[in-house]
Amino acid sequence: MPHLLFRGIPAERLKGASASLAEELAAVCGCGTDNFTMSCLHSDNVFGFGEGETSFVFIEVGWFERGRLVRNRFAEAVTRSLRELGIGEIEIVFSAYREDSYYINGEPVGSGS
């Protein structure tokens, strides 16, 4: 945790930058790189883009909320990393998980019932 889901970028293009990005994000979040997952989702645009056009890169981040400052630094790090790959338009959205609704191997992560 956090989980990053990338759309609009091929996995082969992102792989080379993923290790350094995970290290930077781990420093921002104060956790180890083993807490991160990064996945690329193949998607075909069926509306809003002309034939042969590629869409912008869209990243969904699922995590436990860490506050606006950390969220801003996280978004800046992801954006900077993708800009270094020559990507122009980048959009990021954060979805905060509730700890009492997150389970690992059937066990709740957070306290409460």
- Per-residue pLDDT reduced to its tens digit, 64-95: 999 999 999 999 999 999 999 999 889 999 99
- Average pLDDT, stretch 13-31? 94
CB 100 within 8 A of CB 112: yes
Q: What is the pLDDT of residue 54?
A: 63
- State the pLDDT confidence band at 50, using cuts at 50, 70 and 90: low
Sketch the domain layout of the chain as residue ranges: 3-108
- Positive or negative CA dihedral for 16, 18, 22, 24? positive
Topology of the domain covering 3-108: Macrophage Migration Inhibitory Factor (3.30.429)
CB 95 within 8 A of CB 83: no
Q: What is the pLDDT of residue 72?
A: 98
pTM of the predicted model, to two decimals? 0.87
Instruction: Indicate the average pLDDT of the chain.
Output: 89
- Cα 42 to the chain's mean position, in Å? 15
Q: What is the pLDDT of residue 43?
A: 77
Dihedral, CA atoms, 18, 24, 27, 29, nearest 10 degrees?
Answer: -70
